[in-house]
Every structure is written in C-alpha cells, then in structure tokens.
Amino acid sequence: MVASLGTSKGRREENCFIAEGTKCVMDTIKHFSCRYLLATAQWIEKNGQELSGVNPIAVKRADMERMTQLTTPTDVIAVYEIPETMLDDSKLGQELTIVLDRVQDPGNLGTIIRIADWFGIKNIICSKDTVDVYNPKVVQATMGAISRVKVHYCNLVELLKTHSDVPVYGTFLEGDNMYNMDLSPCGFLVMGNEGQGISEGVGEMVSRRLFIPSYPIGSPTSESLNVSMATAIAVAEFRRRQMK
C-alpha cells in the first residue's frame, strides 16, 4: 500500500500521501492525520519521545527500501490522510496569492511552497494540470512548508474572471521592468509553465505584465529564469515594497 502512494492513482484510491525522512516527518507530524508511521527500531529508539501520541510501527531496513520513493531510503515514512482544503474566496482580494499555471516539475512546486511559507503567503492556487502537491517529491522539496501553506486546484480562467476587481500580475519576457512598476500588496501573482510560460487563456486575464530584468540591463545572459527562482525574486519585491 505504501509504495502505491508514489502514484497519483494510488493516492486517490487511499486518500493518503507520504512524507519521508526525519526532518520532513517531524515538521509535518503535528499538522496531518497520521494513519501509519513506519520506522526502523533505531529511529524509534532515538525519536519516539517526540511523536505526540503517534504509535510507530517498527520495520526492517529491507522493508523501508521497498516502500521508499527516494533514491536513498530513509529511516522513517509517515502515511498521512489527505486533508480537505477549502479556499476562502473572500480573502483573495486582501492578500498576495501565488497562482501557478501548468507547473510540472515536483521540485519547482515544492520550492515555491517553501517560498510562499517564507514570505507569509498562505494560499497557492494551481491549474488542474499542475503537478500534484502530494507527489512525494513535492512533499520532500517543501521541507515541512506544506504544513502551513494550502494548495488549491481549479480552473484559473474562471477564478480570475470571478475576481476581476483584484489585480492580476504575471511574469513575461516581454513585460515591463518590475522594479519600475507600482505593485499592490494584494493581488494574484501568476507564474507559468517551465518551458511555455503562462497559457494564452490565463495570460488574457493578466492586467499587469512584469519582467524581471537581468543585470546589467541588455547584457547577454541565460535565456530565462527557473520558475521557482523567478517566483522568489518577484515575491521578494512585493514584500520589499510593503516594508518601506
């Protein structure tokens, strides 16, 4: 059962996901309903006092190797029930919200969740074809931030149409220099697919197109930024304006 949670089909059928490794488990154990905690005897002896009422199941190293989704097996795997997350639409115009359009790489989504956590962003809204937040690689990359940031999936065009009074920012190579633009402390910040950027339909909903300039401006550089890097730079600039 545990190994099957590495697939989206398995997670849907069991309504569960996994977290692996001491740091990831300890950062999440108090925030999700734990169905099973599987660990080696040595790990239980060392960490059992910190489990807050969760009773671990001792397993052999060979069993951990069969269940792990990682290249190098860890000493502990938590099986959590997938929580129900409700998006409070009334707050969307009152805070900065990251919107992800077709982001496919698990590492990028996990890193963006960490970025949101660092900068106090409580909600990320994703297109339905964005990678699953409970993919083990996403969970691992969040380094526990998945406990504090809620990720929602919906039709982005419909969402943005419903909230047409809220500023919609998006990053584009043909946008305007972000550092010269007025940035509201509230609104949607749309980040697009790793290779294709923001889709046409969602792009039509963007009211303020941002460009992150290289330095010095006009000098030869890489073709583009990784989406998680671009998210970090953009969100940091939004927050910097608020700290003035």
At 88 the pLDDT is: 86
At 160 the pLDDT is: 97
Provide the H-helix boundaries in 96-135. 106-118
Which residue in 110, 190, 185, 111 sits closest to 156, CA to CA? 190
At 93 the pLDDT is: 85
Please check whether residues 160 and 136 belong to one and the same domain.
yes
Cα 3 from Cα 11, distance rounded (Å): 10
Please check whether residues 99 and 207 belong to one and the same domain.
yes
| Residue 136: CB atoms within 10 Å | 22
Task: Provide the edge-to-edge strand list for the sheet that holds 76-81.
Answer: 16-20, 76-81, 34-39, 57-58
Please check whether residues 46 and 63 belong to one and the same domain.
yes
The two tokens of residue 128 are 């339905």
Boundaries of domain holding 198: 89-242
Q: Provide block-wise average pLDDT over 10 residues at a time, the chain (244 residues).
A: 93 96 94 96 92 90 90 92 90 93 98 98 97 97 96 97 96 95 96 95 97 86 91 98 85
Distance of CA 230 to the CA centre of its chain: 14
CATH number for the domain including 63? 3.30.1330.30
Q: Which of 55, 81, 107 is the last residue of a domain?
A: 81
Please check whether residues 94 and 74 belong to one and the same domain.
no
Please check whether residues 94 and 175 belong to one and the same domain.
yes
Compute the Cα dihedral for 62, 67, 73, 75 and give only its sign: negative
- Which distant-in-sequence residues (6+ apart) come within 8 Å of 93 by Cβ? 163, 165, 166, 186, 187
Does the N-terminal peptide bond of residue 213 adopt cis geometry, omega within 30 degrees of 0? no
At 194 the pLDDT is: 93
Distance of CA 163 to the CA centre of its chain: 22
Cα 169 from Cα 188, distance rounded (Å): 6
At 25 the pLDDT is: 95
Query: How many domains is the chain partitioned into structurally?
Result: 2
* pTM assigned to the model: 0.94
Write the single-letter amino acid at 167: P
Counting every residue, how long is the chain? 244
Please check whether residues 137 and 196 belong to one and the same domain.
yes
Q: Which of 62, 81, 100 is the last residue of a domain?
A: 81
| Residue 92: CB atoms within 10 Å | 20
Please check whether residues 39 and 158 belong to one and the same domain.
no
Cα 213 from Cα 225, distance rounded (Å): 10
